Amino acid sequence: MTNPSAASPRRWGLAICLLSLAMALWVLQRQLPLATLPAAIWQPDLSDLAQLKVHYSWLPRFCVALLCGAALGLAGLLMQQVLRNPLASPTTLGVASGAQLSLALATLYAPGLLIAGEWVALAGGGLATLLVFALARRRGLSPLSLILAGLVISLLLGALNVMLMLLQPMGLSAMFIWSAGSLSQNNWDAVLFLLPRLGLALVLITLLVRPLSLLELDDSGARSLGLSLDRLRVVALALAVFMTACVVSSVGVIGFIGLAAPTIARLMGARTLRQRLVWTPLLGAALLLLTDQLVQGFAGRLSELLPTGGVTALLGAPLLLWLIPRLRLSTGRPQPSTQRTVSQPLGGHRLLPLMLLGLLLLAVVALLLGQGPQGWNWSLNPELLQWRLPRLLAALGAGLLLGLAGCLLQRLTGNPMASPELMGISAGAALGLMLTLFVWIGAPFWVRLIMGFAGALLVLLVIVGFARRQAYAPERLLLVGIAISALFDAVKMLVLSLNDPRGQSVLSWLSGSTYFVELPTGIMALLAGVILLLASLPLSRWLTLLPLGESTPRSLGVPMRGARLSIMLLAALMTAIATLLVGPLSFVGLMAPHMARVLGLQQARAQLLGSALLGALLMVLADWLGRNLMFPEQIPAGLLAALLGGGYLIWGLSRRR
Amino acid sequence: MRRLGLALLLALLPHLALADAPGEPRYSRIAAIDWGLAETLLGIGVTPIAVGGLENYRRWVGEPVMPDSVQDLGLRTEPNLELLTQLKPDLILITPQFEAARPWLEKIAPVKSMAIYRPDSNPLLTATEVTRELGRLTGHEAEAERLISDLDQHIAAVRAQLAGRTLPPFYLVSFIDDRHVRVFGDSSLFNAVLERVGLSNAWTGEDNYWGFNQAGIEQLAETPDAALIYFAPMPLSAEQTLARSMLWQNMPFVRAQRVHAFPPAWQFGGLMSADHFLRLLQEALPHD
């Protein structure tokens, strides 16, 4: 981490704290003559509404902002300290989304449990954390792989959350507001809930200060001082998850404070752990308070709608983008992914015709078999086929493209966790589209296509810009993706929480519905898939060599820059088209190349073909299942694919040991 | 040349005459994507063959009760095309909100879009227009007129019943959670009903053309002498915590016990919903 200013942390920290307090005071004096403030605080006149509002709404909200900000900052600091990972935080490790989903499930199916909401959230957050660690463990828990695993899990849990929202659009409108982190209060319950729990956590943290500060040494150094590292890590992480769960269960997901506060504390010059333990919670509290008062003070009519947590996330994404070039990551560069060049059991190539056959069979079934008013039936009725065919073709094309894009990216970065979803290109396309849907409700397909593509292209440009500066270091590419996904997630949550009737159609597209695909679009999707497949086959040599690291391919005459740039462009184009067809939510780009490799398709060319076929297979399956599982309700293909993908990931994990 | 023109005119005449006659087909197998249109159909004695989002209709609209024969089309933004094709409707009714699906729906049957909620219009008036239009399309003109005049009489009766009494202005809300409500304002259907019976709406803030705004509950204190009507279904979180909310407990209408809990009534509906609201209003206000 570069440290630009040598200024003492005190000066900057105090400045931020004072600024937020001044802002709070300014908002307060607009509601109430300050002369009556003491009365409003201690003994409000029950017939004076201004005093009531200050006492039961503004003041508890003020306290909740401080408490939650401090708690999230501390949680982030703990995670960063024990994982030695400057990007760890409740949101980036998936803890917050785990807590969120478990609460959403409880709301819908077991509302009785909500009495102990923090334990529900704790269970969800803890489970999500375990999953993240399980996913990242094989890569030695390197900072990058942990963050990537966190993103995968967040996306998966987010997909489940979207599915709940989609099927229960009205019952969950509270969930929209809450999941975007609304701080508004109408009594002191939340304060009284948070205070003892966070106080307890704080006491425990102070007990851990000494061992934690020994972690500044490297592992062996710390161990030689008689420290049980694993136990310390588990305890500290559990504390962090607990604090996050308390915050999430009382006010929802507040993005990025947990990442920003410790980072800014360090940038301000707080070096020792003790210094950071003091400044991080102060900064977290001040940042959240400042954001919240800004929302209250300036959002005007929107101030009730705008959930503060969404706004912090919105502000946090640029911060992350700014941070990335300044981070010094011990990348734990993954071993070349030609790992264990095992003898291919089925001789790889012989599998490909089988896959093609399977795909064709599935396509025929998806086209002819479906549900109607009288249950399941086979049908050749052209009136039905006119609906099924475009969707089938779109799913086919999108799956093909995503599988290919995933394969390209994984080979490019030498990282089996890379995928188009994780590069943020899908998110970029989604942002463009969301904008269109809100500015022009009934925008025709081609307008949406252009806007989506523009969004994807913009992200691509950002990525290329970063990549050039970073000499195409693959990790940075993925980090850009994480920042953009986070930005997109914040925008999505804000849009949904506005409770606008248009939110529903945004939601449907976001979850990857093929409903609005027309036949020409479907045909073009398939054509695009086939053409780009053919275009990527000549790259096989590069794709074989690139995962071997920097020097080997160079010595074999691979033009590194050109090769990387062309692969990236190709992958981005594929992702953009696929996103327009099935939304940004599927894991097909992650899953298909992985399955291909597991099935023994190790060579670049074979893996490309296999990924394309498997991607198409998965997407067609997802679309068909989505149309029929809950008939007449239709689950969008992208969403179903994401759920299949999540299941596959978890199954894959449990199988490995 | 002139003769040719005349001949053309003569040739066209019968068609012109035909177009003038009530030659439009009378539709009977109607699929209604929107709930407001669906309930209006029931109100004029036409049972739609299919309705969008039926499960949520039962939860949020309740009345009029949809008969079991009605098929569920799934999500209203994406009505199930395969099912719709097999049901063979002769007319599909949508509102501008669901316009996106029109090109697809048009391949199945003629599509008509009717808006009860438009910018700068009184939903009670537009709902009346829509009722007439539906009556004309289904050949149930008489029933449509009866629905309209029944509502008028009902309004007049309630108005007479309330005349001479001083009633507070009413907030009309449905809870989103224990801190936020949807509050219905100027452009809402129920506001129009309130005005017609001589009552007033306590919410004077802005609303969208659907007639609602989202507000924090403390914003409902701005008209201190108001009463409050809230509609079920109530989100669980709200039910449990409102009782413990000091802000809520000290809201003027709560302290003065001017809070009325109403069963589900569709705030975005047509004349049937207006009538339903009117009945609820009649039951809730003390008779004397």
Question: Residues A21, A120: one domain?
Answer: yes
pLDDT of A5 reads 45
Question: Residues A364, A270: one domain?
Answer: no
Q: What is the mean pLDDT of chain A?
A: 82
Residue A503: its chain B contacts at CB < 8 A?
A: none
Closest CA to A382 of B248, B82, B66: B82
Q: Do A372 and B86 touch (CB under 8 A)?
A: yes
Ranges of residues in chain B with a pLDDT under 70 are 1-25, 236-237, 287-288
Give the residue from A304, A494, A508, A516 with the most B CB atoms within 10 Å of its CB, the best one to mutate: A304
CATH code of the domain covering residue A608: 1.10.3470.10
Residue A107: its chain B contacts at CB < 8 A?
A: 236-237
DSSP secondary structure letters along B69-81: TSEE---TTS--H
**Which of A371, A373, A505 is nearest residue B100 as measured by Cβ atoms?**
A505
Question: Residues A219, A361: one domain?
Answer: no
Residues B247, B251, B254, B260, Cα dihedral to 10° = -110
The least confident of A38-42, A593-597, B42-46 is A38-42
CA–CA separation, A478 vs A143, rounded Å? 12
Nearest CA-CA distance, residue A490 and chain B, Å: 20
Q: Do A174 and B252 touch (CB under 8 A)?
A: no
Residue B233: its chain A contacts at CB < 8 A?
A: 171
Whether the CB of B47 is below 8 Å from some CB of chain A: the reply is no
Q: Can you point out the beta strands (E) in chain B?
A: 30-32, 50-51, 71-72, 91-94, 111-113, 170-175, 180-184, 212-216, 227-231, 259-262
Give the residue from B219, B246, B255, B267 with the most A CB atoms within 10 Å of its CB, the best one to mutate: B246
CA B241 from centroid of its chain's CA atoms: 30
Helix (H/G/I), strand (E/B), else coil: B113? strand
**Which of B104, B206, B236 is nearest residue A301 as measured by Cβ atoms?**
B206
pLDDT of A489 reads 78
Winning range, highest mean pLDDT, from A99-113, A170-184, B113-127: B113-127
Give the residue from A167, A187, A440 with the most B CB atoms within 10 Å of its CB, the best one to mutate: A187
For residue A336, is it within any domain? no
Give the residue from B75, B175, B204 with the most A CB atoms within 10 Å of its CB, the best one to mutate: B75
Q: Which residue of A has its CA nearest to B220?
A: A49
Q: Do B85 and A384 touch (CB under 8 A)?
A: yes
Tokens standing for residue A447: 């307008």
Are A247 and A194 a contacting pair, CB within 8 Å?
A: yes
Q: Which residue of B has its CA nearest to A59?
A: B247
Give the residue from B225, B237, B250, B253 with the most A CB atoms within 10 Å of its CB, the best one to mutate: B250
Tokens standing for residue B120: 């700068």
Show which of residues 123-162 on chain B sit within 8 Å of chain A, judged by CB atoms.
none
What are the CA-CA distances from residue A632 to residues A626, A640, B50, B82 (Å)? 10, 16, 11, 9
pLDDT of A576 reads 80
Choosing among 3.40.50.1980, 1.10.3720.10, 3.30.413.10, 3.10.290.10, the CATH entry for B30-150 is 3.40.50.1980
CA–CA separation, A47 vs A175, rounded Å? 33
Give the residue from B84, B116, B180 with the most A CB atoms within 10 Å of its CB, the best one to mutate: B180
Let me know if domain B165-284 sits in CATH 3.30.70.20. Answer: no
> What does the pLDDT look like over A245-274, one tens digit per residue?
999 988 888 888 998 899 888 888 888 888
Question: Residues A30, A70: one domain?
Answer: yes
Q: Which residue of B has its CA nearest to A375?
A: B83
Whether the CB of B78 is below 8 Å from some CB of chain A: the reply is yes
For residue A514, is it within any domain? yes
The pTM assigned to this predicted structure is 0.83
Question: Residues A284, A364: one domain?
Answer: no
Residue A171: its chain B contacts at CB < 8 A?
A: 59, 233, 235
For residue A2, is it within any domain? no
Tokens standing for residue A579: 């996103």
The least confident of A273-277, A323-327, B190-194 is A323-327
Question: Residues A318, A360: one domain?
Answer: no
For chain A, what percent of residues have pLDDT higher than 70? 85
What are the CA-CA distances from residue B209 to residues A610, B98, B171, B200, B273 (Å)? 52, 16, 18, 19, 17
pLDDT of A631 reads 87
Which sign, positive or negative, has the C-alpha torsion B241, B246, B248, B253? positive
Whether the CB of B219 is below 8 Å from some CB of chain A: the reply is yes
pLDDT band at A348 (very low <50, low <70, confident <90, very high): low
Closest CA to A373 of B84, B220, B130, B90: B84
**Which of B78, B217, B219 is nearest residue A634 as measured by Cβ atoms?**
B78
For residue A346, is it within any domain? no
Range of A504's domain? 354-656
Residue A185: its chain B contacts at CB < 8 A?
A: 179
Nearest CA-CA distance, residue A422 and chain B, Å: 28
Question: Residues A530, A425: one domain?
Answer: yes
Domains B30-150 and B165-284 share a fold: yes
Whether the CB of B256 is below 8 Å from some CB of chain A: the reply is no
CA–CA separation, B134 vs B145, rounded Å? 11
Average pLDDT score over residue span A476-482? 73
Whether the CB of B239 is below 8 Å from some CB of chain A: the reply is no
Phi, psi of B230 (to 5 degrees): -125, 150
Average pLDDT score over residue span A337-344? 42
pLDDT band at A8 (very low <50, low <70, confident <90, very high): low
CA–CA separation, A58 vs A38, rounded Å? 14
In the numeric block, the tokens 């159609």 are attached to A505
Per the DSSP assignment, residues forming a β-bridge with B262 are: B231
Above 90 in pLDDT, residue A397? Answer: yes
Above 50 in pLDDT, residue A388? Answer: yes
pLDDT of A177 reads 62
Q: Which residue of B has its CA nearest to A58?
A: B218
Are A252 and A178 a contacting pair, CB within 8 Å?
A: yes
Whether the CB of B235 is below 8 Å from some CB of chain A: the reply is yes
Question: Residues A433, A314: one domain?
Answer: no
Residue B179: its chain A contacts at CB < 8 A?
A: 182, 184-186
Whether the CB of B88 is below 8 Å from some CB of chain A: the reply is no
Residue A508: its chain B contacts at CB < 8 A?
A: 75, 77-78
For residue A647, is it within any domain? yes
What are the CA-CA distances from residue A519 to residues A30, A387, A523, B86, B188 (Å)? 58, 9, 6, 20, 40
Q: Do B216 and A304 touch (CB under 8 A)?
A: yes
Question: Residues A502, A628: one domain?
Answer: yes
Query: How many domains are contained in chain A?
Result: 2
Q: Do B99 and A370 touch (CB under 8 A)?
A: no
Question: Residues A314, A359: one domain?
Answer: no
CA–CA separation, A275 vs A103, rounded Å? 35
Residue A177: its chain B contacts at CB < 8 A?
A: 176-177, 180
pLDDT band at A534 (very low <50, low <70, confident <90, very high): very high
In the numeric block, the tokens 């509302």 are attached to A111
The least confident of A30-44, A216-230, A544-558, A633-647 is A216-230
Tokens standing for residue A611: 């990924």
For residue A340, is it within any domain? no
Above 80 in pLDDT, residue A70? Answer: yes
| Element housing A376 (H / E) | strand A375-378
Tokens standing for residue A577: 């088209």
Residue ranges covered by each domain of chain B:
30-150, 165-284
pLDDT band at A635 (very low <50, low <70, confident <90, very high): confident
Q: Give me the total of CB pairs closer than 8 Å, taking one residue from chain A and one from chain B.
A: 139
For residue A440, is it within any domain? yes
Q: Do B245 and A187 touch (CB under 8 A)?
A: yes
Provide the b/e sequence for A249-288 (b: ≥16 CB within 10 Å). bbbbbbbbbbbbbbbbbbbbbbeebebbbbbbbbbbbbbb
Question: Residues A81, A126: one domain?
Answer: yes
pLDDT of B21 reads 44
Q: Which residue has the higher pLDDT, A299 or B62?
A: B62
Residue B240: its chain A contacts at CB < 8 A?
A: 114
Give, rounded to a whole angstrom, the gap between the first and last alpha carbons of chain A.
Answer: 37
Q: Do A504 and B77 touch (CB under 8 A)?
A: yes
